[in-house]
Chain A
C-alpha cells in the first residue's frame, strides 16, 4: 500500500530535461585492443560497450562501462569506433561527448580510464567527475 493513498501525488520528471548532442568519442589503441579481447571472450552476438554516467562519486558523477547486447531503444546512440560498437544513452550524450577511452596497465592496478573534456573536476581516486 502506498503512503500516497488514492491521491497519488504528482509524478516528477526524472532525467527528461537534458540536451541531446551527437556523440563523438575516441578509443586509444591500448583500450581498443583490450576491448576487442573482452568482446571476443564474451562471444555474444551484437555485443557493444555501453558507457553511462551515474550520479554519485565525490565529484558528482561516476562512469559505468558495461559490455552487453546492443539495446533496442530509440533513446540510445550507436557508434562504430574503429570497429568497436559503443552505445551511449541520449541522457548522457552531453556529458560523454568528446571523451577518450584509454586503458592503462600498471603494477598498482590498471584499467580503463576516461579523459573527459567536459569535466571541470575529478576526485582523488579518478573514478568520478563533475
Chain B
C-alpha cells in the first residue's frame, strides 16, 4: 500500500451494501441481459463484478456476484439497494424463472483489510481462496474483493446468526473492528468506490476504471451501445483519480484551471493528509497535475495522484 499502509488487521461492517439472493433457472440469464460483464460461464464458487447501468450507460449499481451453485448472491454498493431491487422487479418478465430475496437482515458483510489478514482467512475457511473464487468455512464464506491489486483485503459473508461467532474468531486472531472514519481513510486511499459517491446515476463504468467489469464481446446488454462507442473511440470524457489536497476540498463539481472537477469523496488520512477521489478530464493528468480548487475554508491546492495512493 506504500504511503497509505500498512495497517490493521481491521474489520469493517458493510451494512449499507445490499445483499440480495437470486434463484431460479433464469437468474444468470437475467443478469447477463441487464448487466455489463459476461456471467454466462460462471460456475459454482466463482465471484465476478458486473455493473448495472441504464440505457444511457450510467451506473445504477456495482455488483459483486457470488455464484453459489443454485443461487447467486449479489453484493451491491452502498445505499443502492432500493435502486437495484426496483430495477430487478421491473426487469423480470413473466417468462423468467427468477426469484429474489432481500437478505440484508439475514446475511452480514464484513471487509477485512491490513497486514496479516491472509492468515486470518486461512483460519476461517481452511485455505486462501483463489482469485475470483469464494470458499466456505464453518461460519462464513470468504472471497477477495474484485478490486485491482488488493493483496491485503477480503470480503466475508456470514449468516446473521453467526455474526458474533465470526467476530469472536476475528478478535481471537487480532483483528479489530474499525469505525467509519477509519474505513473512509482506507477506502479513499485505495480508490475504492462507494455507492452514492462515486457510483451514481451520472457516471459511466469506464470513467470509474471498471474495464474488468465490462465485457465487449458477450453480445447485447442494456447500455452496451454507449460503452462500445466509448471503447472504440478510445476516449473518455473524464476519469477517476486521487487528489492530494492542502486542506479539505468541497465536494461536488467545480471549475478549475484543470477543467471541470467533480470531487466525490474526501477524508483526512492519518498519514496522507487530506485526500480525495475526483472525476477529472483525462488531459488533466498530463503535466504536473497540480491545480487550485475551492475548499470549505478557502482555496485548496490539489495534486492528481494515480490510484491507489502510493
Contacts and interface: CB of A to CB of B under 8 A. Distances in A.
A10 interface: yes
Nearest to A130: B55
A84 B106 CA distance: 50
User: What class of interface size applies to chain A in its complex with B?
Assistant: 35 or more
Interface of B: 20-21, 23, 30, 32-34, 54-55, 68, 70-71, 73, 85, 88-96, 98-103, 105-107, 141, 157, 159-161, 220-225
16 contacts: A3-B71, A3-B157, A7-B105, A7-B159, A8-B101, A10-B105, A17-B90, A52-B93, A55-B30, A55-B93, A57-B33, A57-B220, A57-B221, A58-B225, A62-B220, A123-B225
**5 smallest beta-carbon distances between A and B, as pairs:** A56-B33, A9-B101, A55-B91, A7-B106, A14-B92
A60 to B, nearest CB: 5
Interface of A: 2-5, 7-17, 52-60, 62, 64, 75, 89, 91-92, 121, 123-125, 127-128, 130
B21 A9 contact: yes
Contact of B33 (A13, A54, A75): A54
Chain A at the B interface: SS class: loop
A11 B295 CA distance: 45
Given A3-B68, A56-B220, A128-B220, A15 B93 contact: yes
B94 A10 contact: no
Contacts of B99: 11, 14
Nearest to A9: B101
Q: Which of A8, A52, A60 has the most CB of B within 10 A?
A: A60
Contact of B34 (A7, A10, A56, A89): A56
